[in-house]
């Protein structure tokens, strides 16, 4: 990715080679986003006349933009007067608070709470709810259900969701394959995995739900938005 959105405006010749070959001339606005998505707009409608999404390479120099992605090639060449500029651009999302570091706006987007001012970011679970309540450190708090509801700061350095879930459920259940304790581990997501790993690789991801009982197999039963289920997704015993 590059910093900001680059813009080229003027009378241009636009040519595309690939699955929709065409050449067009006109006064256009060319937008190149930080993820190398290129859009060429004319005066009508919202649909670009040419585009390339997340191109492998993009160059913009001397009034000519070239973008390539595999066997697809987009070239926009200014034919006369033109202007180029660059604008700062960020991801957009619902506002969730104020950054304690710079007083910038915090927004939630794509599994992250990020600041529009200093670009600080904090990963949050996609099913978490961002609360109006503010932590002592100044960041907002979130709530998420992993066996029961937990409320912690979005800043994991301030307050760890992993540690909160671990304090509640670490060694609470036995491994059905070797009678070892199930530990609360972070492997991509939070899971309950056997303490004897790698000799015993039994383990399951913790669902977004509340523990409401014990299955006939001995593992906990969770109440989720989709109904009741055993920790073991393959278990077909009574719930």
Is 146 within the bounds of a domain? yes
**Domain end point (choices 165, 182, 205):** 165
Give SS3 for 165.
Answer: helix
Looking at the fold, whether 101 and 79 belong to one and the same domain comes out as no
Is 179 within the bounds of a domain? yes
Give the burial class of 164: count Cβ atoms within 10 A of its Cβ; 0-12 exposed, 13-18 middle, 19 or more buried. middle
Provide φ and ψ at 156, rounded to 5°.
Answer: -65, -25
Is 182 within the bounds of a domain? yes
Q: What pLDDT is attached to residue 139?
A: 97
Looking at the fold, whether 103 and 36 belong to one and the same domain comes out as no
**Domain end point (choices 87, 118, 133):** 87
170: left (phi over 0), alpha (psi -120 to 50) or beta: beta
Is 200 within the bounds of a domain? yes
Looking at the fold, whether 11 and 66 belong to one and the same domain comes out as yes
Taking the model in full, what pTM does it have? Answer: 0.75
Which range of residues forms the domain containing residue 142?
95-165
Q: What pLDDT is attached to residue 237?
A: 63
Q: What pLDDT is attached to residue 1?
A: 45
62: left (phi over 0), alpha (psi -120 to 50) or beta: left
Q: What is the DSSP letter of 201?
A: -
Is 111 within the bounds of a domain? yes
Looking at the fold, whether 54 and 103 belong to one and the same domain comes out as no
What parts of the chain have a pLDDT lower than 50?
A: 1-2
Q: What pLDDT is attached to residue 135?
A: 96
Looking at the fold, whether 80 and 100 belong to one and the same domain comes out as no
Looking at the fold, whether 139 and 210 belong to one and the same domain comes out as no
Q: What pLDDT is attached to residue 239?
A: 56
Cα diameter, the chain: 77
What is the count of structural domains for the chain?
Answer: 3
Q: What pLDDT is attached to residue 18?
A: 81
**What span, in angstroms and rounded, lies between the C-alpha atoms of 55 and 35?**
8
**Domain end point (choices 165, 192, 214):** 165
């Amino acid at each position: 990715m590059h910093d900001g959105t680059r813009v080229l405006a003027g009378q241009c010749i636009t040519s595309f080679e690939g699955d929709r070959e065409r050449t067009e001339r006109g006064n256009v606005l060319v937008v190149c986003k930080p993820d190398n998505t290129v859009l060429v707009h004319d005066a009508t409608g919202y649909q670009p006349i040419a585009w390339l999404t997340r191109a492998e390479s993009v160059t913009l120099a001397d009034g000519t933009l070239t973008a390539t992605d595999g066997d697809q090639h987009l070239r926009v060449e200014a034919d006369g007067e033109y202007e180029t500029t660059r604008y700062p651009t960020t991801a957009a999302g619902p506002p969730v608070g104020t950054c304690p570091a710079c007083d910038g706006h915090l927004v939630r987007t794509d599994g992250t709470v990020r600041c529009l001012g200093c670009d600080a970011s904090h990963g949050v679970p996609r099913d978490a709810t961002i609360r109006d309540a503010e932590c002592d450190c100044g960041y907002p708090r979130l709530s998420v259900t992993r066996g029961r509801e937990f409320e912690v700061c979005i800043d994991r350095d301030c307050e760890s969701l992993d540690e909160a879930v671990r304090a509640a459920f670490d060694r609470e259940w036995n491994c059905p394959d070797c009678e070892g304790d199930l530990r609360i581990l972070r492997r991509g997501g939070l899971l309950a995995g056997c303490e004897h790993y790698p000799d015993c690789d039994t383990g399951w991801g913790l669902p977004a739900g509340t523990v409401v009982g014990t299955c006939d197999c001995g593992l906990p039963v969770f109440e989720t938005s989709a109904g009741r289920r055993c920790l073991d997704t393959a278990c077909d015993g009574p719930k």
